[in-house]
Amino acid sequence: MKSVRLHDDGLVRCPWPGEDPLYMAYHDNEWGVPEYDDRALFEKLILDGFQAGLSWITILRKRDNFRKAFDEFEPAKIARYSDKKVAALMNDAGIVRNRAKIEGTVNSAKAYLKIMEEGPGFSAFLWDFVDGKPKVNNFKTTASVPAATPLSTTMSKELIGRGFKFVGPTIVYAFMQATGMVNDHLVTCHCHDKCGKMKKPKRR
């Protein structure tokens, strides 16, 4: 096991953000923090799909461009995208220009709207897979963290069955980690305890 590394700010982190300030801020403030907002969960799932074959920092650096290009990830707007809009997105250098992923986002938006119409919402649908609360893992090394799990495979199959695209088990597990459904901060990381204790905010 590698020795625990202290950053200049005196904090111990998971090793993956390195010294990149944007990546470190994302690690500290977003990754593993339980997300319960329907639209925010949709955005994260789509961006994780765009990440397939790339590194997350590539997507993170383009996230603001993605939000602008995709109407702040409002599914009702995306579901109505025309061929002309898809062509415009294919010409947008600020995002990842992949036709299958762009068209897949339109399909996923339609699937999201169907879930919202049918029941308690997208957030409740997803969080139900982990019984509504974060699953806290206690990994000591990055090598111990799985790329996918039986649970992410189950969620993946359900999402695919409902019409979502680019939601394979590995993408879904990365999504579960990012949205705090599983807490995969290493036990030595300063975020591990914090994320594990976070509770769902009360509905106003």
Q: What residues does each domain of the chain span?
A: 21-197
CA distances from 70 to 18, 54, 81 (A): 29, 19, 10
Q: Would you state the pLDDT for residue 7?
A: 79
User: Would you say 192 is a known binding-site residue?
Assistant: no
Q: Would you state the pLDDT for residue 157?
A: 98
Chain-wide mean pLDDT for the chain?
Answer: 94
In CATH, what class is 21-197? Answer: mainly alpha
Confidence of residue 203 (pLDDT cuts 50, 70, 90): low
pLDDT at 107 > cutoff 90: yes
Q: What is the mean pLDDT of residues 21-36?
A: 96
Q: Are 111 and 160 in contact (CB under 8 A)?
A: no
User: Would you say 27 is a known binding-site residue?
Assistant: yes
Residue predicted with more confidence, 7 or 181: 181
User: Would you say 189 is a known binding-site residue?
Assistant: yes
How far is residue 98's CA from residue 174's CA, in Å, rounded to a whole number? 20
Q: Are 90 and 106 in contact (CB under 8 A)?
A: no
Q: What is the pTM of this model?
A: 0.94
What percentage of the chain reaches a pLDDT higher than 90? 89
What are the tens digits of pLDDT across the range 30-65? 999 999 999 999 999 999 999 999 999 999 999 999
Question: What is the DSSP code (8-state) at residue 170?
Answer: H
Phi, psi of 136, deg, nearest 5: -95, 115
